[in-house]
Amino acid sequence: MIKTNKIGIKNVDFGKNVSIVEPVNMYGCKIGNDCFIGPFVEIQKDVEIGDHCKIQSHTFICELVKIGNHCFIAHGVMFINDLFQEGGPAGGDKAKWKSTNIGNNVSIGSNATILPVRITNDVVIGAGAVVTKDITEPGIYVGNPAKRIRSKK
C-alpha cells in the first residue's frame, strides 16, 4: 500500500493580486499583496511573506521563516530551521527548530542556503551562498560561508 498526502494549497491567507504557478505545496502560511509564487515551491505553515515578493521555482521555505516586503527569492533557494544540534535531525521536536527573519528589499540568488538567521534590509545574497550568521549591514554577500564583498549601490 502507498500512503500519499495531497497538500496543494490549503489554509493559506492570501493578500490581493497573488499569482501562483502550480504545482505548489502551500499550507498554513500568509502571502502578502502583489506576490508571485513559481512552480514546485513549498511554503510551510506559519511562514509569512510580505508584499511585492517574488518566489521562484523549486524553492523550499520551511516553518519559522518571515520574509519582508519587496523581496526576490531566486530558483532553488533552501531555508533551514533545524541545525542538527544534537548530531541528527530534530524531527518533530519543534522546540529545537530556529527561526529566520528576512528584512525588506532582500534578493537571494539561486541555490543559496539560508540557515536560521536574521538578514537586515537592502541585502543581496549571491547565487550558491550559504548564510550561516546574521547579516546586520546592507550589502552584497557571497560564498560559503557568506561574506560581505561590498556595500549595495
Residue 129, pLDDT score: 98
* List of residues 6+ apart from 105 with CB closer than 8 A: 68, 69, 70, 71, 121, 122, 123
Residue 32 to residue 18: CA distance in whole angstroms: 8
Give the chain's domains with CATH numbers.
9-83+94-150 (2.160.10.10)
113's grid cell: 542556503
Q: How confident is the model at residue 86 (pLDDT cuts 50, 70, 90)?
A: confident
Contact by Cβ (8 Å): 83, 65: no
Q: What is the pLDDT of residues 25-82, one digit of tens each?
A: 999 999 999 999 999 999 999 999 999 999 999 999 999 999 999 999 999 999 999 8
For residues 117-140, average pLDDT = 98
Q: Which residue has the cell 519543534?
A: 94
Residue 153, pLDDT score: 64
Q: Coil, helix or strand for 42?
A: strand
CB-based burial of residue 128 (10 Å sphere; 0-12 exposed, 13-18 middle, 19+ buried)? Answer: middle
The type of residue at 146 is: A
- Catalytic positions are 75
